[in-house]
Amino acid sequence: MPPAPIVSVDLQGGLGNQMFQYAACHALARRTGADMRLDVSYFARSTKRRYLLDCYAVPAPISHEPSPTTHRGPARELARKVARRLGMSTDLPDGGWKVHLQQGFHFDPAFESLVPPVHLHGYFQSELYFRDVAEEIRKLFVIRVPTSPGFAARRERVAASAWPVSIHVRRGDYVSEPVTSEVHGTCDDAYYRAATSLAERLCPSPPSYFVFSDDIASARDLLRGLKDAVYLGGDVERPWEDIALMSACRGHVIANSSFSWWGAWLAQAADKWVIGPRQWFAPAYQRTISTNDILCPGWIGL
């Protein structure tokens, strides 16, 4: 009996990455009339990450069992390497399932012609994967769990500002882990100076800056001299609250991070603007891939 029409996705990484992976899976399932399956087995192996989408109560069954594609033998992995070298598809069959392994960070038009049952492996960091169901995704990514005691006060402070602008400074493992740092790099002071200078011109009235970071001390040092800045040190165990606070702003200076990407994308102010880094990764890695599809149309790349 052939497998049921299911779109399965291997969730991994932090909250921002999980949101991209879920959104792509949701879009493909909606387009093909298939059911969804969230493979969360990665988190049983990870010492740094945990499944976080339950803060949104997304409607999809969760599986703690690895998808068949995670049990890859030497022959199967060799076939993938050969296919990649020859420029051939890496969508290899696996027990009746199709395996879609994302290559690079650009939007792959082949995604739109996938037919379930299919397993998705990748990051899918582009609105192009789910733009057809964008409003559904916005409604799903609303906090469904109780918020922390200080969240309401922080939200009111943002709402009281005439022109709240979010600034995200991503540090953490981008700095502390050599391998991660070599791939991702960080946005430097030149980027933030150019972005805040442009923000002053984009806002019709003086902006109030709300700074979000996993290292508030570094953010203060990087943005020293910035006027009317509030440093919102949120709970690292509840990252969805910072995304919600970012989305309450009207202007956005994002980092090279899926976390602040979502904070900006979920914002619904009609006159919102978004500034993001054209260089999404460290220079050496950036030269090997295309990231043209990460920033949305209308967003300003610096």
**Of the CATH numbers 1.10.287, 3.40.50, 2.60.120, 3.10.450, which one belongs to the domain with range 149-301?**
3.40.50
159 pLDDT more than 60: yes
Q: Does an H or E element contain 28, and which?
A: helix 15-32
pLDDT digits (tens, 9 = 90+) for 210-263: 999 988 999 999 999 898 899 987 778 899 999 999 999 999 999 999 999 999
Question: How many Cβ atoms are within 10 Å of 273's Cβ, its own excluded?
Answer: 19
Sheet with 35-39: strands ordered across: 62-63, 35-39, 6-10, 118-121, 97-101, 93-94
Evaluate whether 101 touches 121 at the Cβ level (below 8 Å): yes
When comparing pLDDT for 33 and 3, which is higher? 33
pLDDT (tens digit per residue) in 19-54: 999 999 999 999 999 999 999 988 888 888 899 999
- What's the pLDDT tens digit per position in 117-153? 999 999 999 999 999 999 999 999 999 999 998 999 9
- Mean model confidence pLDDT for the chain: 86
Hey, what are 230's tokens? 């509030």
Global model pTM greater than 0.85: yes
Sign of CA dihedral 285, 11, 255, 182: negative
Digit-coded pLDDT (tens) for 259-278: 999 999 999 999 999 999 99
Closest CA to 255 of 266, 267, 264: 264
Model pLDDT for residues 173-198, shown as the tens digit of each residue? 787 777 777 878 888 999 999 999 99
Residue 221's H or E segment, with its range, is: helix 216-222
Query: What pLDDT, on a 0 to 100 scale, did the predictor assign at position 170?
Result: 85
- Using alpha carbons only, give the angle 205, 210, 214 rounded to the nearest 5 degrees: 160
> What does the alpha-carbon distance between residue 114 and residue 62 come to, in Å, rounded to a whole number?
22
List, for residues 81-121, the tens digit of each pLDDT value: 434 443 434 444 445 678 888 888 899 999 999 999 999 99
pLDDT recorded at residue 158:
95
Token representation of residue 124: 């899918």
Q: Considering only 75-84, 192-201, 283-292, which range has the smallest mean pLDDT? A: 75-84
